[in-house]
Every structure is written in C-alpha cells, then in structure tokens.
Structure 1
C-alpha cells in the first residue's frame, strides 16, 4: 500500500501549478495531477497485482475534501474485495449499449432509405419519400427516439392533413409504419407499430375510401377518337407524332417519350420496352400496327440522339409537350386518357377478352393465380387487336 503523504491544506492545493503528480495526503495514493494547465484528481492503488490509476474528477469542481472521501471509499471497498474498476467498466458498457440502441426517427429514416434504395427502379421514389416525411413527419417525430414513439406522435402527423390531403396522409402513414417496422427488426424499439392501420388507426381515423375522391384521367370518348386522330395527323411537330404513337400503341406517355430506335425491331414490327422503363419493372413487347410502322418510317433521325421523339438538346420530350398539343386542339383530355379510351374500345366495340386488353396495357394482374398461369405475352393475338385498333382510329380519316 502506498505510504500516506503529508496532508496539504486547501490553500496549498490551490497553489499547485507545476505539471506532474502531487501527493496531497489524507488517503493513500491520492494525487493532484497537473497537465497543460488542467488539474484533476487521480487515485493510484494496487488492484491485485496490477497498479491502477482511477480518475476522481477535475479540480476545483471536485474539492480536496470530496476527493479524499472518494479515495477512502474506494480503499474501503478494495479491503472488502470490491474491484473499483469493474463497476465503472460495467457502467460505461451499459451506457454504450444504451447509446447503440437509442436512435432518432430521423436517423432511422435515413438508414431505411439507404437500405431500401436499391429496390426502387425510379430515383424519384426516394425523393418522394423524403419530401413527404420531411414536410409532415419530421416536425413531430424527427427528434424523438423511435423507442418512445406512440399513437399520439403518429396522430400529430396525420390528423392535420387526414381530411384535406388524404392520399398524401395515407402514403405518409404507410411510410412511417415501414420505418418503425424496420426499427423494430433492428432492435431499436419494441412493441406493436403505432402507425399500423388494421385494428388500430382504422378505429380513430376515417376510412380513406370515405374521404378520397377518385379522379380518373380525362379521356376522349371512343366515338370521338377517329375524328380526333384525323385532326391530330394534320398537325406538325415531334410532340404531335409522339401523341399519335401513344394512341396507336396504347402505351404510357413516359414509355413513348423515352423510346429509342434500338428498341424497335422493324423487321418483326415489335417495340420492346426494357424493364427499367416499365412501371411494373417487367419487359414489355408491343406489336406495331401498319399505321404505327408508317409513322416511324416518316420520322426524322437525329445524329445526336437515339430517341424517337427527342425534345430540346436531345432530351426526351416533356409530358407537357403532348398535353400542350391537346390544349391547342381544344381537347379536354390528357395523354394518359387514351389508355382508357383504348380499354373502352376493347370492351364496347370488340369481342377480345379482358385479359388481352390488360396485357396490351401492361397491367399487373391482381390475381396471383392468374398471373402464375400466364406464361406468354400473346404477342400475335395482340397484334391482330392493335391492327383493328389502328383501323378504328383511322375510320373517319
């Protein structure tokens, strides 16, 4: 055991300025350590066969009398077989373990988006998630530890917009639920998810179906389509030709605007849209009617782009370019509405089965059983249907 040094007074301790260890007495091994102007208490003692230095706090925050009391308490514990270092290690480990599991909602959101980003084919999906959560969730949840988030916190996000912006609120609820589920799996929280709908939020919030108004894309009636096509073919410009191609193929406007010459098999009269440009992330083959092929034959080829319908600087046309064509024609409809017109034509004017029209529109089958049995894409059957569609479009031309 270290010998007991002469006991220094408070005044003598306050006068110590020289760097190094200075024994202050009153308890074996108690020193005031001075280094670069910083002064703190250190207790040096033997624990078993090892010499240990234990910090007792900074001086003068911890005064001389308090430092001596701490040192004597440690010595008393050591005589009873208590390791003075072990509790401190255990406390540090407990604090480290607690810190590792204490994550804020914002941190969990960022980690969730980073982990799930590879699943999203469109980079805009992440931006949409971030924008919605940043606007409506972060003011209420961002700084909270996910372990304490409960129903009142979730309702604070949802209730202000549930009736006025229900579609946005419904998406927000699902996104909060996904992040909290992720946090539960990662052991950052326990218990049921306060953002779940069935059997929980459906008891305190109005059903979306009772609030949301379904707004369909404005479409041209089937009977008016031939006359519209006749007028459209009289208009010049890439946007008009792109719109004509959208009608003839029943494609989504984005698929047509992004179409390239390499996707067109002229010999087979087939347009193959790659999976990365399809909504369902599945490659889609489109049989091209004679009218569609004639349109492509007349299109100019541009050296600086592979796009069928390039806009300015070789970039794809904007969706507004085709909408603008329709507005100049005084037509109260949107480009996407032609898919509805095509679907109405199949149902009202032909005997083709519903499934064939759904394949032409590249819709994902709701029935998993039906989807499992659909092996091919009925390309040749669809070719005949699209040829009849093109004839109908030109009926009054």
Structure 2
C-alpha cells in the first residue's frame, strides 16, 4: 500500500499471502488510510502499537532482576548478602512478580504492602523504595509505566505508626566492666574487644585481614565501608596499644589471613557476637558500642564534633566543606582512641579525663 503523509511517500506492507487474506489486507489498508486522514503516519503508529504490546510482556520479576544487576556495582559485596533484593523477593514478587510492569498501579502496591506497612515498617519502606527503583528502571528502558505509583501508594497507605527503635547500647560508663570481662581469649571475645576499641561496624571488623594492617594503622577497604560518599576511598583506623595487643592475641586463630575466622569456613557472623552478649544477659548489641563511644566523646571529652564523627567513619559537613577538607584527622583520632582504650582497659579513672585529649 502507498500513502503520502507530511509530504513524504510511504510504502506499507499489509502482510504475506496466504497468512493474511485479501479481506484482512483491505481492513488494514482502510485503517491505515483513516490514520493518514488524522495526520498520523500508519507505519510509525503500527510500530508504536508493537512497542506497547511488547511492554506488556515485561513482568515485574524480570525488571526487578535487571534493576538489581545494573546496581550491583553500587552495593557492598556486589549485593551478595541479598539485602537489596530480599524485601522485593519476600514481600512484593510473590504477589506482583508475574504482573506486567506496565499494568502495576498504586492500588496494586497498596494491597501488596498494607499487611506489613505498620507491623514491619522498615522492611515495607525498603520494599517500596526498591519498587520505585524498578519502575524508574523500566521507564529508562522505554516501557510505559507510572513512575509515581509508589508515591501514590504511600498516600493511600498513610503514615506509618511503627516507631523505629535504636539498637540497644551499653551506657559508656558500663563499657569498661564489660570489656574487662571478655577474658576468655576466644575468637568471639577478641572480636568484641577490638570492636569496642576501634568503634567500627561489625562487617569490616569481622573481615579484618592481615594485609590491612600497616604498623599502628588499620586500613579498611572502601567497599567494606557504609555511608561514605561514593565509597571510593579507604578508611584509616588508628590502633591504640590495647588494640594492637588484641590483634597480636587474635593472630593465633588466623586462617587465610583473616583474624576472626568462622567455626568451619569464612569469618564469624554478626549473630555470633550478638548471641554471646545475649547469653551473658545483655540487651545491648555489638553495634551499640558505636553509640557508647559517641556518647563518651560528647559527655566526657572536649573533642571537636568533626573528629568524633570521623572516628565513626561518618561523612560530616556539606559537599563544599568536604571538598576543601582533605584531612581524616588521623593524629587527633589516634590520641582519642588511645584515651578510649585506656578507659576500657581500666588503666585510667572512670571519668576518662585523659590528658591526651
């Protein structure tokens, strides 16, 4: 069939005979002429309809996996821990995984997440955020989706009633007694001691490797750090004399270079340390020692805020301020961690008013 549209002559195939009958070809031709009268190119309109039909074949589960693959490089350990994908896998995909993503609207999302919206608020929030990323990923692929569906679903679900709870932490005044009770010399006790002394997160501590030590400095690789801009730089941790003594003691357990190996393979789990504290009757958890350290900095020292925050591996200040501030305060943090360690080990008064600060 030949048509003229916008001053251009177009040739449009109507289908192969005998698969397409003469009657069907005439119907397609009549429809194409009607489109021309409306100022539309029948060939482009046919292609557009094909794209729309194809978009309906893109199921959410496939888009979710594709979105996950494209973001692995941004995730710690390439997302192998499963924390990014798990909220979708457990709470969204069982209900919406086989639904074409172009058909998903705010009501579908509301009905899917309403059972956990208040009871598992943090998980529901993560699932909603991941679903929003999937919708934007689909839009970037050229699929017809409602990228505002998650915002509309939040409006339908309302404000979450659940109040987030902070991880229980020991008051800093009680840390020395607990630290000094870790005298058994086991892998778990040594890991807890070093965790307290360095105020780092559990993940880099559990994956502490011999080649990360250079004298009295422990350098944590960028990929093991959480919350640092772009995770492009490693983080240096000054090791106090007490921390170095703990490391020397832990070397007898070293396996494949890791100082805190698991029972059979790999390294000890975060649950290992948590369970140890639970068995000892403590509500506090290992991660809480970072809060203990930060409270000590605020209440018992006059250390500047930016040094205390840097000691925790936090990024402080605006982007302009960070661009001009190139130091990581290693020398000042070294004195700070030495004072903290002395207090934990009971080598100074409980007030920890060390002259070094």
Taking structure 2 as the reference length, the TM-score comes to 0.78
Q: Which residue in the other structure is 1:235 paired with?
A: 184
Q: Which residue in the other structure is 1:177 paired with?
A: 132
Please tell me whether the aligned partners of residues 113 and 126 of structure 1 are also in contact (alpha carbons under 8 angstroms). Answer: no
Please tell me whether the aligned partners of residues 67 and 137 of structure 2 are also in contact (alpha carbons under 8 angstroms). Answer: yes
CA deviation after TM superposition for structure 1 residue 329, in Å: 3.5
2-structure distance, mates of 1:128, 1:346: 32
CA deviation after TM superposition for structure 1 residue 116, in Å: 2.1
SS in 1 for 2:17: strand
2-structure distance, mates of 1:177, 1:151: 11
Please tell me whether the aligned partners of residues 140 and 156 of structure 1 are also in contact (alpha carbons under 8 angstroms). Answer: no
Per mean C-alpha deviation after superposition, the further-off stretch among 176-185 and 131-140 is: 131-140
2-structure distance, mates of 1:247, 1:53: 76
292, 296, 304: which is aligned to 1:353?
Answer: 304
SS in 2 for 1:162: coil
Please tell me whether the aligned partners of residues 117 and 126 of structure 1 are also in contact (alpha carbons under 8 angstroms). Answer: no
Per mean C-alpha deviation after superposition, the further-off stretch among 291-300 and 347-356 is: 291-300
Q: Which residue in the other structure is 1:391 paired with?
A: 342
2-structure distance, mates of 1:251, 1:391: 17
Q: Does residue 295 of the first structure (1) align with residue 250 of the second (2)?
A: no
Please tell me whether the aligned partners of residues 101 and 188 of structure 1 are also in contact (alpha carbons under 8 angstroms). Answer: yes
Q: 1:158 to 1:330 in 2, by over 3 A?
A: closer
Q: What CA deviation, in whole Å up to 9, does each residue of 1:115-167 have, x standing for no partner?
A: 22222223446833433223322344333332332222221222222122221
Q: What CA deviation, in whole Å up to 9, does each residue of 1:316-352 have, x standing for no partner?
A: 1122332343244333321111111111110110000
Q: Does residue 146 of the first structure (1) align with residue 101 of the second (2)?
A: yes
SS in 1 for 2:76: coil
Aligned pair count? 317
CA deviation after TM superposition for structure 1 residue 383, in Å: 0.4
Q: Which residue in the other structure is 1:337 paired with?
A: 288
Q: What CA deviation, in whole Å up to 9, does each residue of 1:152-195 have, x standing for no partner?
A: 22212222221222211111111111111122222211555211
1-structure distance, mates of 2:26, 2:145: 40
Per mean C-alpha deviation after superposition, the further-off stretch among 367-376 and 282-291 is: 367-376
SS in 1 for 2:77: coil
- CA-atom RMSD in angstroms: 3.2
SS in 1 for 2:285: coil
CA deviation after TM superposition for structure 1 residue 204, in Å: 2.8
Q: Which residue in the other structure is 2:224 paired with?
A: 277
Q: Which residue in the other structure is 1:223 paired with?
A: 173
48, 52, 64: which is aligned to 1:109?
Answer: 64
Please tell me whether the aligned partners of residues 287 and 386 of structure 1 are also in contact (alpha carbons under 8 angstroms). Answer: yes
Aligned pairs for 1:36-75 (under 5 A) are: 54-56=17-19
2-structure distance, mates of 1:274, 1:73: 68
Please tell me whether the aligned partners of residues 255 and 273 of structure 1 are also in contact (alpha carbons under 8 angstroms). Answer: yes
1-structure distance, mates of 2:250, 2:43: 76
Q: Does residue 368 of the first structure (1) align with residue 319 of the second (2)?
A: yes
CA deviation after TM superposition for structure 1 residue 95, in Å: 6.1
CA deviation after TM superposition for structure 1 residue 388, in Å: 0.8
1-structure distance, mates of 2:243, 2:16: 86
- Greater percentage in strand: 1
1-structure distance, mates of 2:267, 2:109: 41
Q: Does residue 213 of the first structure (1) align with residue 160 of the second (2)?
A: no
Q: 1:347 to 1:212 in 2, by over 3 A?
A: same
Taking structure 1 as the reference length, the TM-score comes to 0.70
Specify which structure has the bigger relative contact order, considering alpha-carbon pairs within 8 angstroms and separated by 6 or more residues. 2
Q: What CA deviation, in whole Å up to 9, does each residue of 1:92-117 have, x standing for no partner?
A: 85664444433232232222222222
Q: 1:193 to 1:328 in 2, by over 3 A?
A: closer
Please tell me whether the aligned partners of residues 258 and 267 of structure 2 are also in contact (alpha carbons under 8 angstroms). Answer: yes
Q: What CA deviation, in whole Å up to 9, does each residue of 1:232-284 have, x standing for no partner?
A: 2x222121111111111111122111101111112xx1011111211233411
Q: 1:220 to 1:302 in 2, by over 3 A?
A: closer
SS in 2 for 1:356: helix
Please tell me whether the aligned partners of residues 264 and 271 of structure 1 are also in contact (alpha carbons under 8 angstroms). Answer: yes
SS in 1 for 2:157: coil
Per mean C-alpha deviation after superposition, the further-off stretch among 244-253 and 294-303 is: 294-303
